Chain A
Amino acid sequence: MILITAPLAAIGSTTLSALALIGRMGIFVGQILSHLVRPPFYVREFGQALVQIGWLSLPVVGLTALFTGGALALQIYAGGSRFNAEAVVPSIVAIGMVRELGPVLGGLMVAGRVAAAIAAEIGTMKVTEQIDALTTLSTNPMKYLTVPRVLAATLSLPILVLVGDVIGIYGGFLVGTSRLGFNPVTYMENTVDFLEVWDVTSGLVKGAVFGFIVATMGCYHGMNSGKGAQGVGRATTNAVVSASILILAANYLLTGVFFST
Chain B
Amino acid sequence: PQAAQRSNLRLDHILTPGAVAPLLNNPEICAALFPHLPESSERTPEEIQAIVRTPQFSQALVSLSTALESGQLGPLLRQFGLGPNAGNGVEGFLSAIQEQAKKDKK
- Binding partners A and B: no
Interface, chain B (partner A; CB < 8 A): none
Interface, chain A (partner B; CB < 8 A): none
